[in-house]
Structure 1
Amino acid sequence: MPTSASTYHFGTRDRVRRVGSRMASTSRRAAAPVLFFLLLLLVASEMGTTRPVAEARRCVSQSHKFVGSCMRKSNCQHVCQTEGFPWGECRFHGGLLRRCFCNKLC
C-alpha cells in the first residue's frame, strides 16, 4: 500500500513539473517579443537624441526709452515692443539696479 501511495505522489510531482516547465517555456516565449520591443524603443530614442539641434542666437540690447528701475516685466516688454523688439525682460545691471533689456532673435 505505501508503494502505490508513493508512486501516486511521484506521478503528481512529475505532472506538476511538466506543467511548470510548459509555463516557463510559454512565459519565455512571451517575454522575448516584449524584450525585443523594449530594446528597439531604447535604440530609437538614442538615435533621436544624437541629432544636432540648431539654436537661434538671441540679441540683447538695453532699452533706450525705458526710464527708471525695472520692476515689472510687462512694462519692460511694452516699451521694448515700441522699440521694435518682440520681448523684453528686467535684469540686474551694475549691482543693485534693475534695467530693461530688449531681446530678439538675430
Structure 2
Amino acid sequence: MKIIFLSIYSAVIGLNIVNIKQTNNIVNEIKIESSFSLINDSKDKISIHTGTGFVSLNKGSKTSIGCNVGKEVRWANEGKKGEVIFKITADMCGKTLKLSEVMK
C-alpha cells in the first residue's frame, strides 16, 4: 500500500514539475518590452488614441505607448477616436519610432 501511495505521489510531483517548466518556457518566449516611444515629427500638434487613452503631442514631442501587440493607435479629435494610424506589432516594442515612419 505504501509503495502505491509513493508511486502516485511521485507521479503527481513529476507532472507538476513538468507543468512549471512548460509555463516558464512560455512566459520567457512571449515576454517583450512593455512600451515603445512615438515622436511627433509632423509640423502640427496632434491628438491620438494609444489603444488605452488619449494623448496630445506638440510638434517634436514624444510619448510612451504600452506595447499591447494588436492594439490600434488612432487619430483623435475632441476626445473621440478617429481613423487607424497603425497597429502595434511586436517589432515596435522597446524602440523609438517617428510618426511619419508608422503612418499607413
Question: TM class, shorter-chain normalised?
Answer: 0.3 to 0.5
Largest Rg, 1 or 2: 1
User: Which TM-score applies when normalising by structure 1?
Assistant: 0.35
- Structure with the bigger RCO (C-alpha within 8 Å, sep 6+) is 2
Where is the helix percentage greater, Structure 1 or Structure 2?
Answer: 1
TM-score after normalising by structure 2 = 0.36
Task: Give the strand-richer structure, 1 or 2.
Answer: 2
